[in-house]
Structure 1
Amino acid sequence: MTEKRTEPTNDQIGRVIRRRRKALGKTLEQVAGEAELTVGFISQVERGICAPSFSSFMRIASSLNTSMEQLLNVRETFEIHTKAKDRESYSLGEAGRWYEKLGPGFSGALFYPCIIHRPPGQVSERMKHRGEVFCYLAEGELEYHIGDKVYNLVAGDSIHHDTSEEHFSTVVSDTETTELWVSSHPIAGH
């Protein structure tokens, strides 16, 4: 794979989200409600205090009637076949956490596949939203929380669940994880 990583700062991510929200005439409350996030979190993202996770950014983009790729200026092509050397990659705010775009292969796709690389000790945000997610752990170890249950994943394990219950994960290995994720694409207002 060629290194073509787009690495926007938290400030850049916040500015582009705020600009898009204001252009649509939406309030923080509207975006937070549609993205199933808190107003405080959206406000922190817009001010560059924190960066959204992949899942949260997808939901924010959906509530703004756009895509993450358009907000980040990442090339968005709909190709049924993506060669490894042509795969786009980008990061979202946290040092060491980056994403390889595997899809969608066509406009209107219901699933969004990607590979996520996370550094040791990285903790994802706690999430709860409509949809489902599948993760195959290719490298490293994760502690994955769904509600009150904890699952310890090692390379080769997978997890597939309804995302309406609160969930988050922590990288517990001493090395970076490589995680294949397939999530249902959020659709604003559904």
Structure 2
Amino acid sequence: MNTSTRKKGDENECLDVMVGKKIRALRMARGLSLKDVAERSGLSMGFLSQAERGLSSPSLRSLGQLSEVFSVSIANFFPERESSSDANGPVLRESQRPSLVFWGTGITKEILTPPQPCENAELVTYLMCIEPQGSSGDETFTHEGLEAGFILEGSLEIQIDEDTFMLEQGDGFRFSSRVPHRFRNITKTPTRIMWVNYRQIKESPST
């Protein structure tokens, strides 16, 4: 293994541990057991246990399922923003953008706008980069909210309910997140998308 490969592996492991700690903290704060979360998310207890310990890398789909259980956005699983005078304000500096690599699926998401809730709602804009053959998974998934996006570069195949669309640079989309959906990059070049998620904030569930 060369130095660059080892470094990338170490970074992925650190991200997995960080995400795992956030999953556990959200679960404990709501007084939920692993069994509770497994039943509500459809994920196995074994996977959840490994994810909390940083031994398994959650996919975008599984974090979406967990965000529904905890009533938070996927942005809550990202690294914390650097501390600054405007860390909780209406502006997000380029140098402060949190990002998360879903290295098992070829997807990287970078937060472009402040993720803090505003007036009982969350509106978060991401820069999503999808490597060739990268995808959200083989199965469609659903969650609360609305989403929209714009293809900045490359191509995207997106399935919304029973319809499949091939989008190219300059194309846009919008759909209800409650409709089964999935997406993938079936080309040989990376795809870059500005992706927006909106959802109403609900009361956090507990036992």
Give the shorter-chain TM-score range.
0.7 to 0.9
Q: Does 1:135 find its partner at 2:149?
A: yes
1:100 — aligned with what?
110
* Residue from 111, 124, 136 that aligns with 1:124: 136
Cα distance change of structure 1 residues 165 and 95 upon mapping to structure 2, 3 Å threshold:
closer
Question: Offset of 1:183 from its aligned partner?
Answer: 0.6
RMSD: 3.2
Query: 3-state SS of the aligned residue for 2:134?
Result: coil
Of 162, 166, 181, 1:148 maps to 162
Instruction: Give the TM-score normalised by structure 2.
Output: 0.70
How far the C-alpha of 1:105 sits from its partner, in A, is: 6.1
Q: What is the alpha-carbon distance in structure 1 between the residues aligned to residue 94 and residue 17 of structure 2?
A: 30
- Count of residue correspondences: 181
Kindly provide the amino acid, as one letter, of the partner of residue 47 in structure 2. Q
Residue identity matched to 1:175:
T
TM-score normalised to structure 1 length: 0.75
Matched residue SS, 2:179: coil
Which residue is equivalent to 2:43? Answer: 39
Residue-by-residue CA offset, 1:31-69 (whole Å, 9 max, x unaligned): 4576xx3132x752441334131x753663564466656
The answer to whether the aligner puts 1:75 opposite 2:85 as a matched pair is no
Which residue identity does 1:52 align to in structure 2?
Answer: S
The alignment partner of 1:137 has SS state of: strand
Amino acid at match of 2:127: I
- Of the candidates 159, 177, 191, which is equivalent to residue 163 of structure 1? 177
Q: Take 1:82 and 1:22, find their aligned partners in 2: how far apart are those partners?
A: 29
Whose Rg is larger?
2
The amino acid across from 1:112 in the alignment is V
1:51 aligns with 2:54: no
- Tell me how far apart the structure 2 counterparts of residues 85 and 134 of structure 1 sit (CA, whole Å): 25
**Taking structure 1 as reference, are residues 133 and 46 closer, same or farther at Cα in structure 2, changes over 3 Å only?**
farther
Q: Provide the secondary structure at the position in 2 that maps to 1:185.
A: strand
Post-superposition shift, 1:90? 2.9
Distance in 2 (alpha carbons) for counterparts of 1:104 and 1:58: 19
Partners of 1:134 and 1:181 in 2: how far apart? 6
Report if aligned partners of 2:65, 2:143 keep a CA contact under 8 Å in 1.
Answer: no
Matched, 1:88 2:102: no
- d(CA) in 2 for partners of 1:187 and 1:81? 21
Which of 100, 107, 111 does residue 123 from structure 2 map onto? 111
Displacement of 1:161 after TM fit?
A: 0.5
TM-fit CA distance, 1:84 = 3.1
**Equivalents in 2 of 1:52, 1:59: separation in Å?**
10
| Structure 1 residue ranges without an equivalent (≥5) | 1-5
Note the C-alpha offset of 1:129. Answer: 1.8
| Structure 1 outlier segments of 4+, above 4 Å | 65-72
